[in-house]
Amino acid sequence: MDPKYSALAADVLAAYKKYLEAFMASDMSGINALVSYPLAYVGDGAVKMLHEYPIKPSELMVQTGWRDTVNMQYEVVAVSETKAHLILRSGTRVRADGSPIEDISGFYAWTKTPTGWKMFAISDVRTRL
């Protein structure tokens, strides 16, 4: 990959890691700082344009017993000066005792804004174990 695009991909990856940290901390301000609204959410058979983040991670953690995500494999698979695609190929959400809850995969579209890279589209697949 061209060094210029490698640097762009590294910037997108850094933004995604900030998003993951905010998500795990249920830091809605941190999440919102990394989203360009409206956010396109690709769900089961429908696309919704959302003006706020669709979930509160803290509520998901309580509902499912989720404590951490392990074995995450993600990468920036395409990047230009203004747009990027990042794929979460796989990960497993686990309880505090390490027992698995569900496998996850996701697609994130990012756009370059004056304040940095921001997510503008997301799709996820969750498979209960």
With a cut of 70, list the residues of the chain below it in pLDDT. 1-3
- Provide the CA 72 distance to its chain's centre, in angstroms: 11
List 66's β-bridge partners, or say none. Answer: none
In the prediction, which pLDDT does 129 show? 79
In the prediction, which pLDDT does 3 show? 66
Residue 17 CB burial class (10 angstroms; 0-12, 13-18, ≥19): exposed
In the prediction, which pLDDT does 5 show? 79
In the prediction, which pLDDT does 7 show? 92
Stated pTM of the model: 0.91
Q: Give strand ranges (E) for 43-82.
A: 47-50, 68-79
Which residue ranges form the domains of the chain, and what is each CATH number?
3-128 (3.10.450.50)
In the prediction, which pLDDT does 19 show? 97
